[in-house]
Structure 1
């Protein structure tokens, strides 16, 4: 399975997503537990966005797809897609 990963070492957060931004794994360590709720939410959303762009790029590269083909699959290489796949209820 193709996934994308992003990590914030300072905050102790790691995320893994599938192409399109579906969350596959979310890991926190002791550092992340010291963050405020707002800071934690912002960090997770930023990491999901980064990991999504990486997963989408891997799909593009591995399958030799162009932008139109990725769009047809509901996958894009931009941050707008990551925003659209994150539920509003997760936002601060």
Structure 2
């Protein structure tokens, strides 16, 4: 009976040690995962900022070109009127 108790105690000690190792590994993985998530979030924010800057720049260029096209069409119509009246 006493031997059986010692065996069970030894097994319990073994599994308790295994559990500590697993818990330590889990904490390490959790920390690494949080760091990776944070890094990806930061990279995503930076990419969004660049994308927003580039899209704003393109939007302004489109607005300028649209304005120039409208002005060129107005100038063309005015020139056609003048040439038609000459």
Q: TM-score, normalised on structure 1?
A: 0.31
Q: Which structure is higher in RCO with an 8 Å CA cutoff and minimum separation 6?
A: 1
More helix as a share of residues: 2
More strand as a share of residues: 1
